[in-house]
Amino acid sequence: MKLSTYLEEALKKAETGMTVEAREVHKIVYRHLAQNLGDVDVLKLTAHDTDLFSRWLSENFSESTAKAYLAVAMQALRPYLQFRHISDEDVRQLVAAAPDDEWRALLMLIGSYDVHIDDALGLVWKNVMVREGELRYRAAKSKADIRRTLKPEALAVLERLSQGKGGVLFSRLRHQKKARLLEMSETIATQAGFGGDSKLLSLLRKLFL
């Protein structure tokens, strides 16, 4: 979906119960978004795009206005944005050291696709749109409808997990306590060559708890 189409739909959804003033603010922000980012595919948006937009707002508006406009923009784009916590190379190292497909898939989803651990563990095969190459789900906390474009290697490992009962992807890991998952993830990281003072281990502690 193109950004212009998505923003039109987002404005219609947001209008319910919105004051005239708030609606005008949303229209202004959406117009600036479209002008700055272009009519791109929303599935290709990244946190880098919002960083550029934030910088533009800071250069053209007062601090309070820029902050308010950015909040409106982030609320609209959040379902499609991916905030990368772990680099591609680090994810590859972790996946290579993972003991099985459940761990490979979990590390890919959390590290490369910004999927919260609670959402990842609750995924079932029907959340994977093979033809579109997408992962679609509703976030447990925000209730936002999230979409992620998956690379072929991620699709492949998820498909191998699709034979679980009811299409459950993480039939084993979903029953583990988070503290145990963190412990296991740290073991994988150590086996992948990351030392005890590694920034990656600190990130894992934040992502798994």
Candidates 3.40.630.30, 3.40.630.10, 1.10.443.10, 3.40.50.720; correct CATH number of 88-208? 1.10.443.10
Question: Are the CB atoms for 30 and 46 separated by under 8 Å?
Answer: no
Does pLDDT of 1 surpass 70?
A: yes
Measured distance CA(75)–CA(7) in Å, rounded: 11
Does pLDDT of 132 surpass 70?
A: yes
71-80, pLDDT tens digit by residue?
Answer: 999 888 877 7
Residues 141-157 as b or e (16 or more Cβ within 10 Å = b): eeeeebbbbbeeebbeb
Query: In CATH terms, are 3-80 and 88-208 the same topology?
Result: no
Number of Cα atoms under 13 Å in the Cβ half of residue 118? 8
Q: What is the pTM of this model?
A: 0.65
Helices (H), the chain: 3-14, 20-37, 47-60, 63-77, 88-97, 101-113, 117-121, 152-160, 178-191, 199-208
Does pLDDT of 81 surpass 70?
A: no
Cβ-based neighbours of 82, under 8 Å, separated by 6 or more:
45, 46, 47, 113, 114, 148
Question: Across residues 193-205, what is the average pLDDT?
Answer: 80
**Locate tokens 């145990």: which residue?**
180
Residue ranges covered by each domain of the chain: 3-80, 88-208
The amino acid at 75: Q
Candidates 1.10.150, 1.25.40, 2.60.40, 1.10.3470; correct CATH number of 3-80? 1.10.150
At 30, list the tokens: 């959406």
Question: Are the CB atoms for 173 and 208 separated by under 8 Å?
Answer: no
Question: Across residues 152-171, what is the average pLDDT?
Answer: 90
Residue 166: count other Cβ atoms within 10 Å of its Cβ: 8
Question: Across residues 81-86, what is the average pLDDT?
Answer: 63
